[in-house]
């Protein structure tokens, strides 16, 4: 999660919402991919940290199936990201802060609990949640002061 938080801070420094994601191989501890949020800079509404990390990992491994890998992300994934996680066959998702407004894992549609979800990763939430949430709060607090 510390690496994901570093990626989130880098995203914030670039003017993006501070969300970071890391994909690792739990068998070896190897970091396969790291990414921060990037929709503004990429002019791409799908450039969430999770999507960018999934793309980088799939490219690196030359396989769109990322079975048995772990995705660590600073914020509860949204519905789009949860769908991509399921399609990639990620084995485990670890997230920091919950997202009551946009989250889709423990909030909203609870994507992985739906009968139409074909692949359900193991999910652990709340890892360094306070630090992840404070990074987001601080980012948006600073933006509100500028307006």
Q: Find out whether 117 is annotated in a ligand binding site.
A: no
One of 50, 76, 98, 131 is an active-site residue; which one?
50
122 classed as catalytic: no
Please list the alpha-helical segments (H only) found in 1-128.
Answer: 2-13, 39-42, 49-61, 79-88
DSSP SS3 for 43:
coil
Structure tokens at 18: 């501070």
H or E stretch covering 145 = helix 129-146
Q: Find out whether 48 is annotated in a ligand binding site.
A: yes
Structure tokens at 143: 């933006």
Binding-site residue numbers are: 48, 78, 81
**Which residues carry out catalysis?**
50
Binding-site residue numbers for Zn(2+) are: 48, 78, 81
């Amino acid at each position: 999660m510390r690496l994901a938080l570093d990626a989130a801070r880098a995203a914030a420094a670039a003017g993006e919402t501070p969300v970071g994601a890391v994909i690792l191989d739990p068998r070896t501890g190897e970091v396969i991919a790291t990414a921060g949020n990037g929709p503004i800079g990429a002019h791409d509404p799908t450039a969430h940290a999770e999507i960018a990390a999934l793309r980088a990992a799939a490219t690196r491994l030359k396989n769109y199936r990322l079975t048995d890998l772990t995705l660590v992300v600073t914020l509860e994934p949204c519905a789009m990201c949860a769908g991509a996680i399921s399609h990639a066959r990620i084995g485990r998702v670890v997230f920091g802060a919950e997202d009551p407004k946009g989250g889709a894992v423990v909030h909203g549609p609870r994507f992985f609990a739906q009968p139409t979800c074909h692949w359900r990763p193991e999910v652990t939430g709340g890892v360094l949640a306070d630090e992840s949430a404070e990074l987001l709060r601080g980012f948006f607090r600073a933006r509100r002061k500028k307006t």
